[in-house]
């Protein structure tokens, strides 16, 4: 039964929609039964311990929650036991893809969990010897916070006096080390160890940890009603005015924009787009994986105004066909805006791919080879 209809901004766009009552019922078949379960997804800013989305255990040992006011649409989510370290896994301990549902009416969904990360599966450190920690508490003066910074140095860094192009990537927890990656790592280090030997194209990679619960605002330059004041401008200023000068001073880098790239996925793809548009003389290329443009529609207007004709900046876009929502359409629309101002755009699509680290790991090598082909 339809509860009521409203005009509002919820999750992705401003439009008329109806809200429905939805229930989740979970049977926990894991080896070590859950002590608490939370639903975490795009309906609650991917907060793994949101009390408003905590399930209640019933007498028949299932877990349930009733969500009374959910708008019609597609949703992506997982279950956790209160943190990303205890997110659900598959039966064999492997990474589990996001669950996807479509809401069209009042309904109940039934799920089964088979395992929990960390609890059921120990994670080992997998970072290669070329990965180093710059600092566990690198100060961000623009945001008055500290953050872990990683760096990948090419295998020949200590045996030559060469200078290297630099790639800056967000969400560093997921780049190098399975131990810190709740959804699996990108294998950036292993991929580069192999590709650089094959191609002779070497680079430095700087990884910046995301800010946990601050991620959605740090990676968004615009304010939103749902998530609050955007801090993306301050975060981008940190990259340009604090982190990059530090890296250029302390490592042998090619500091010019033509040798400097920025990349990220989802919200990281959004802030990478903003960064290269805002600072085209700092970042010459951008790897934009599955960008979450839905949260920042004003970025399209920014792109229309800021881009200069015949510039030398390069844009590599990627999106999967099963990411849901308007991800593919949003990416294509942004690419068309930018391609009117520059011929240096490339689009990679995978019609069967979902919105996850598996897809971004698979496509990282394609992006890297595109970026370094002219070096």
111 lies in the same domain as 136: no
> 92, 116, 140: which is the final residue of a domain?
116
Does 11 reside within a domain? yes
**Residues 52-92: tens digit of each pLDDT:** 999 999 988 899 999 988 888 889 999 999 988 889 987 55
> 348 pLDDT exceeds 80?
yes
42-56 mean pLDDT: 91
105 lies in the same domain as 152: no
For residue 131, name the pLDDT band (cuts at 50, 70, 90): very high
**Residues 206-242: tens digit of each pLDDT:** 999 999 878 989 999 999 887 789 999 999 999 999 9
Cα angle, residue 41 at apex, residues 40 and 43 outer, rounded to 5°: 110
Q: Is the dihedral of CA 260, 217, 358, 174 positive or negative?
A: positive
> 144 pLDDT exceeds 80?
yes
Does 123 reside within a domain? no
Does 346 reside within a domain? yes
Counted domains in the chain = 2
pLDDT recorded at residue 170: 98
276 lies in the same domain as 334: yes
60 lies in the same domain as 34: yes
List the beta bridge partners of residue 110.
25
346 lies in the same domain as 248: yes
216 lies in the same domain as 98: no
Does 124 reside within a domain? no
Does 126 reside within a domain? no
166 lies in the same domain as 90: no
138 lies in the same domain as 61: no
Does 351 reside within a domain? yes
70 lies in the same domain as 215: no
Does 36 reside within a domain? yes
pLDDT recorded at residue 165: 98
Range of the domain at 249: 131-372
140 lies in the same domain as 98: no
Does 122 reside within a domain? no
> 69, 90, 116: which is the final residue of a domain?
116
Arithmetic mean of pLDDT over the chain: 89
Say which CATH number the domain at 75 has. 2.60.40.10
> 58, 93, 116: which is the final residue of a domain?
116
Say which CATH number the domain at 158 has. 3.40.50.1820
pLDDT recorded at residue 1: 31
260-269 mean pLDDT: 96
Please state the φ and ψ torsions of residue 229, each to the nearest 5 degrees. -70, 125
pLDDT recorded at residue 156: 95
pLDDT recorded at residue 182: 72
């Amino acid at each position: 039964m339809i509860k009521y209809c409203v005009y509002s901004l919820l999750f992705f766009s401003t439009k008329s929609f109806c809200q429905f009552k939805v229930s989740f019922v979970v049977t926990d078949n894991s080896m070590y039964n859950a002590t608490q379960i939370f639903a975490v997804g795009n309906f609650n800013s991917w907060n793994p311990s949101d009390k408003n989305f905590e399930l209640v255990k019933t007498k028949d040992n299932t877990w349930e929650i009733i969500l009374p006011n959910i708008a019609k649409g597609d949703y992506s989510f997982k279950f956790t036991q209160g943190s990303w370290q205890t997110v659900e896994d598959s039966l064999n301990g492997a990474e589990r893809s996001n669950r996807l549902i479509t809401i069209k009416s009042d309904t109940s969904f039934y799920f089964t969990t088979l395992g929990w990360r960390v609890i059921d599966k120990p994670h080992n450190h997998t970072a290669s010897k070329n990965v180093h920690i710059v600092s566990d508490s690198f100060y961000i003066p623009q945001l008055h916070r500290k953050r872990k910074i990683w760096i990948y140095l090419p295998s020949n860094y200590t045996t030559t006096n060469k200078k290297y192009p630099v790639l800056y990537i967000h969400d560093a927890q997921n780049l190098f080390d399975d131990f810190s990656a709740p959804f699996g790592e990108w294998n950036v280090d292993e991929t580069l160890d192999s590709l650089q030997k094959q191609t002779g194209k070497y680079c430095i990679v700087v990884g910046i940890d995301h800010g946990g619960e601050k991620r959605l605002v740090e990676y968004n330059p615009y304010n939103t009603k749902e998530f609050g004041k955007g801090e993306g401008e301050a975060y981008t200023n940190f990259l340009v005015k604090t982190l990059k000068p530090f890296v250029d001073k302390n490592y042998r880098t090619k500091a010019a924009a033509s040798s400097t790239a920025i990349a990220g996925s989802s919200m990281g793809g959004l802030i990478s787009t903003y960064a290269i548009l805002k600072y085209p003389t700092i970042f010459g290329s951008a790897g934009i994986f599955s960008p979450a443009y839905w949260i920042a529609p004003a970025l399209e207007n920014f792109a229309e105004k800021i881009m200069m004709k015949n510039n030398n900046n390069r844009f590599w876009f990627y999106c999967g066909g099963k990411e849901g929502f308007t991800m593919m359409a949003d990416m294509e629309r942004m690419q068309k805006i930018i391609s009117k101002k520059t011929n240096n755009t490339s689009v990679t699509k995978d019609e069967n791919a979902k919105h996850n680290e598996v897809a971004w790991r698979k496509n990282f090598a394609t992006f890297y080879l595109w970026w370094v082909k002219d070096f």
